[in-house]
Structure 1
């Protein structure tokens, strides 16, 4: 089931996201989030963008949301998109279901340019974005530093 995220989902979402913070370079965040910090993000992103979860048998398996791309007014129709799945849940089509729903919700709110930022290499995320119709529009070399290594990032865009 896909539904809007609520502050009651903060613990489950923290569990999913903090795994990526602590163990991967997929996110450039370096400090795990608290449930209160996550609940605030859910509240803030839900108001203007969309924040959804995929729930299976009462457990949140994944989530997706839109957030600010840039702050100047001219960017008001652009949003950065994000999707995360519980470790081990990839390859079951959940990411595609979440992204499809997120795209529709953001489109319904008047967004025109959806932008995905991917730490490279990350073939699974690249495949997901391209399956959803995103096209690669930028590649920045050594743009981030985490776990004692320089990391590239790429940007994929979908116009809706």
Structure 2
């Protein structure tokens, strides 16, 4: 089931994200952006909407966006990939975004996740960037590809 994330989920979310951090964090500054403290800060921001996919009291996936439509986090537990959890979370997020009717959705993707975002209709709009201790590729999904 998908539900709104709670502050008490921060430990489980951080543990789910932890194996991915080396994919995009290039030094300690980037790693700190995925600490439990940083996640707690995100979970308390009113303009950030954070959702988890949970089954049998286990958080198996997370997705979050910052208003109006910037994808902040999108992770599925490595052990639970290939079960359609990412697709469920993505479709849930699109439904949430419909209220604001954004013309585009953007994300800074890890280099390893570009193919996943392309499946969801995103296109690369930059070369590899490094900023704030992170390595990423800027991607954009226009509303016409959101249908």
Tell me the TM-score range normalised by the shorter chain.
Answer: 0.7 to 0.9
Cα distance change of structure 1 residues 64 and 30 upon mapping to structure 2, 3 Å threshold: same
Q: 3-state DSSP class of the match of 2:80? A: coil
Cα distance change of structure 1 residues 41 and 105 upon mapping to structure 2, 3 Å threshold: same
Matched pairs, number: 140
Counterpart of 2:139? 155
Q: 3-state DSSP class of the match of 1:102? A: helix
TM-score w.r.t. length of structure 2: 0.78
Segments of 5+ residues of structure 1 without an aligned counterpart are 69-76
Q: How does 1:26-41 map to 2 (within 5 A)?
A: 26-27=24-25, 29-31=30-32, 33-34=35-36, 36-41=37-42
Larger RCO (alpha carbons 8 Å, 6+ apart): 2
Q: How does 1:1-160 map to 2 (within 5 A)?
A: 1-21=1-21, 24-27=22-25, 29-31=30-32, 33-34=35-36, 36-44=37-45, 47-67=46-66, 77-120=68-111, 122=112, 125-134=113-122, 136-141=123-128, 143-144=129-130, 151=135, 153-159=137-143
Distance 1:33 1:152 in 2: 18
1:50 Cα offset (Å): 2.0
TM-score w.r.t. length of structure 1: 0.72
